[in-house]
C-alpha cells in the first residue's frame, strides 16, 4: 500500500497530465461532428500508435545477445509502425475524400 502511495507521489506531475489529457480528449471529441467520427476513430487509432516509442526504447536497450528480447522488440517495432503509418495513411485517405467537394 505504502509503495503505491510512494508511486503516486513520485509521479504526481504525470498524474496531473493524465487528468488534463482526459479533459482534452473529451473536449476534442465533443466538438467533432458525427460525419467525421470514422476518420476520427482511425486518427485516434494512429495516435495510440505512440506505443512505438516504447517499442523503440525496448529494442534499443535489448542486449545484443538476448535473442528473445530482440525478437519480441523487433516484432513490437514492426507492429507499432504498422499501427502508426497505416492509421495515418487511412485517415488521410478518408479526409481527402471530404475535401474533394467543390
**12 binding other proteins? (CB under 8 A):** no
**16 binding other proteins? (CB under 8 A):** no
All three cell numbers of 34, joined, read 458525427
User: In the complex, what is the shortest distance from the CB of residue 30 to other proteins, in angstroms, rounded to a whole number?
Assistant: 7
Measure the CA–CA gap between 6 and 69, rounded to whole angstroms: 30
User: In the complex, what is the shortest distance from the CB of residue 52 to other proteins, in angstroms, rounded to a whole number?
Assistant: 6
Measure the CA–CA gap between 79 and 89, rounded to whole angstroms: 15
CB atoms within 10 A of CB 44: 15
Q: Which of residues 53-82 bind other proteins (CB under 8 A)?
A: 53-62, 64, 68-70, 72-82
Amino acid at each position: 500500500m505504502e509503495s503505491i502511495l510512494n508511486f503516486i507521489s513520485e509521479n504526481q506531475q504525470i498524474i496531473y497530465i493524465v487528468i488534463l489529457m482526459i479533459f482534452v480528449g473529451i473536449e476534442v471529441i465533443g466538438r467533432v461532428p458525427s460525419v467525421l467520427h470514422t476518420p476520427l476513430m482511425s486518427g485516434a487509432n494512429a495516435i495510440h500508435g505512440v506505443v512505438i516509442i516504447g517499442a523503440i526504447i525496448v529494442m534499443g536497450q535489448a542486449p545484443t545477445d538476448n535473442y528473445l528480447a530482440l525478437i519480441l522488440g523487433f516484432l513490437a517495432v514492426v507492429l507499432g509502425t504498422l499501427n502508426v503509418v497505416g492509421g495515418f495513411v487511412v485517415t488521410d485517405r478518408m479526409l481527402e475524400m471530404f475535401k474533394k467537394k467543390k
